[in-house]
């Protein structure tokens, strides 16, 4: 039997948390079992919203030295923030391919040279065909399951075939889903093959964060197990 080394990872998004308490909110998520923190960076151009940038991420890193940080870069010019985010000791730099289609490969190289892992993100309207040629240069592909820009939106079921296609063709690839993911939608994501789960509102708004994180993990791990038995 082949061994499947896919791992389930739960990465809460702090987008809809009380950002005036970013450290406390982040630490609580980690204490409740989060595997990593998904930090949504928006520039007001690529998406019609603003959040925070590298100065805030660096301050958070100062308080939380060891956790795995992913920055989800919803920005028009991802190249501009590679060095500052590396300086903030970001672990995984996930950028959207849409505004930089011609430069994805050199950007992947720059992110890696800066010491970070590479995540490539796709908006709902972007087909997996667009990312195919770059997958071997990335550590993770993020399939957005809402239009990027805001937390608390409704999960888009019609994104599931993209996850299925990726998992079918790349059995060991890290595939992340982000947007409207929670206890009602996790089964579809897990069965399609997502193993990195971003959930904002579903976790932040929960009275018992740990129980939500544990339940999400259990459902994803069960799917990974089922899938590895078939291999």
Q: What are the residue numbers of the active site?
A: 40, 178
Q: C-alpha angle with apex 41: 38 to 46, nearest 5 degrees?
A: 130
Give the other-Cβ count within 10 Å of 184's Cβ: 10
Nearer to Fe ion, 126 or 228 (CB): 126
Stretch that binds ligand 5RP, among 92-100, 126-134, 149-157, 168-176 (CB under 6 A): 149-157
176 binds Fe ion (CB under 5 A): no
* 3 state SS of 147: coil
CA-based nearest residue to 79, from 125, 46, 31: 46
Stretch that binds ligand 5RP, among 27-35, 58-66, 193-201, 207-215 (CB under 6 A): 193-201
CA pair distance 117, 140, nearest whole angstrom: 8
Stretch that binds Fe ion, among 52-60, 89-97, 113-121, 170-178 (CB under 5 A): 170-178
What's the min distance (Å) between Cβ of 74 and Fe ion?
7
Q: Is 6 left (phi over 0), alpha (psi -120 to 50) or beta?
A: beta
Among 35, 139, 176, 178, binds Fe ion (CB under 5 A): 178
Nearer to Fe ion, 30 or 227 (CB): 30
Residue whose entry in the numeric block shows the structure tokens 């996930």: 94
Give the other-Cβ count within 10 Å of 178's Cβ: 28
DSSP codes of every residue in 7-56: --EEEEB-TTS-GGGHHHHHHHHHHTT-SEEEEEEEBSSSSS-B---HHH
**67 close to 25: Cβ distance less than 8 angstroms:** no
Known binder of ligand: residue 128? no
Among 72, 123, 162, 167, binds Fe ion (CB under 5 A): 72
| Binding partner at 152 among ligand 5RP, Fe ion, none, C-beta below 5 to 8 Å by kind | ligand 5RP
What's the min distance (Å) between Cβ of 229 and ligand 5RP?
30
Binding mask 14-53 for ligand 5RP (x = CB under 6 A): -xx---------------------x-x-------------
Q: In terms of DSSP H, where are the helices of 36-159?
A: 54-63, 82-87, 104-113, 129-132
Binding mask 109-148 for ligand 5RP (x = CB under 6 A): -------------------------------------x-x
Using CB under 6 A, list all residues that contact ligand 5RP: 13, 15-16, 38, 40, 72, 74, 146, 148-153, 178-181, 198-202
For Fe ion, the binding residues (CB under 5 A) are 40, 72, 178
């Amino acid at each position: 039997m082949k061994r499947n080394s896919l791992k389930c990872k739960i990465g809460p998004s702090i987008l809809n948390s009380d950002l005036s308490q970013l450290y406390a909110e982040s630490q609580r998520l980690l204490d409740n079992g989060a595997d990593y923190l998904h930090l949504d960076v928006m520039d007001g151009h690529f998406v019609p919203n603003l959040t925070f940038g590298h100065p805030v991420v660096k301050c958070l890193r100062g308080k939380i030295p060891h956790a795995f940080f992913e920055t989800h870069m919803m920005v028009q010019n991802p190249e501009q923030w590679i060095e500052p985010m590396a300086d903030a000791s970001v672990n995984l730099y996930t950028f959207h391919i849409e505004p930089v289609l011609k430069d994805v490969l050199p950007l992947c190289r720059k992110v890696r040279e800066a010491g970070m892992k590479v995540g490539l993100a796709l908006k709902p309207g972007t087909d997996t065909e667009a990312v195919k040629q770059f997958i071997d240069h990335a550590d993770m592909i993020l399939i957005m399951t809402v239009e990027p820009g805001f937390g608390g939106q409704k999960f888009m079921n019609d994104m599931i075939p993209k996850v299925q296609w990726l998992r079918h063709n790349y059995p060991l690839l890290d595939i992340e889903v982000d947007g409207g993911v929670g206890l009602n939608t996790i089964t579809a994501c897990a069965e399609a093959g997502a193993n990195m789960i971003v959930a904002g509102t579903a976790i932040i708004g929960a009275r018992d964060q740990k129980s939500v994180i544990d339940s999400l993990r259990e459902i994803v791990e069960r799917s990974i197990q089922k899938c590895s038995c078939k291999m």
